[in-house]
Amino acid sequence: VPRGRVWVEKIDGKIVKLFRNQGAAAISKAADEGRVAETSRKDAVGEIRKQVFERSGGECEYCGKIVTYQTGHMHEVVPKGKGGDVSLYNCVFICYSCHLGSPNAAHANRRINWTPKPD
């Protein structure tokens, strides 16, 4: 697969998930059912983001604050390093504060890791 291309799962013609690699796509149930396609990563992520935003109804899925397609953040609940994928199932549309900008934010723990631990 050339750089910037990904394998995706489609349901009713809409992209619902990006596979991690071609191998993962090949062994999926979606492949058996002819619902796998190759496309550009940019388009695939954009299509997921659009659907996740629509599902949110314009409100942060964590705190309910108003978000727009531009101001909201798409967050992967299970991180890539722990087996998570970019998909409708693993992504939520949340506000900046819930994502990065508060002590209880989704990524707050990652930043705390930079702080030296007290003895």
On the CB side of 40, how many CA atoms lie within 13 Å of its CA? Answer: 3
Minimal distance in Å, beta carbon 96 to Zn ion? 8
- Count the Cβ atoms, other than its own, within 10 Å of residue 100: 16
Determine, following the binding rule CB under 5 A, whether residue 96 of this chain makes contact with Zn ion. no
CB-based contact 65:35 (threshold 8 Å) = no
Sheet of 14-18: strands edge to edge?
14-18, 5-11, 36-40
Q: List phi, psi (to 5°) of 38.
A: -105, 135
Closest CB to Zn ion among residues 62, 84: 62
**Minimum Å distance from CB 76 to Zn ion?**
6
- Answer yes or no whether residue 95 interacts with Zn ion by CB under 5 A: yes
Total interface residues for Zn ion by CB under 5 A: 8
- In the complex, least distance from residue 90 CB atom to Zn ion, rounded to whole angstroms: 11
Residues forming contacts to Zn ion in the complex (CB under 5 A) are 60, 62-63, 65, 75, 94-95, 98
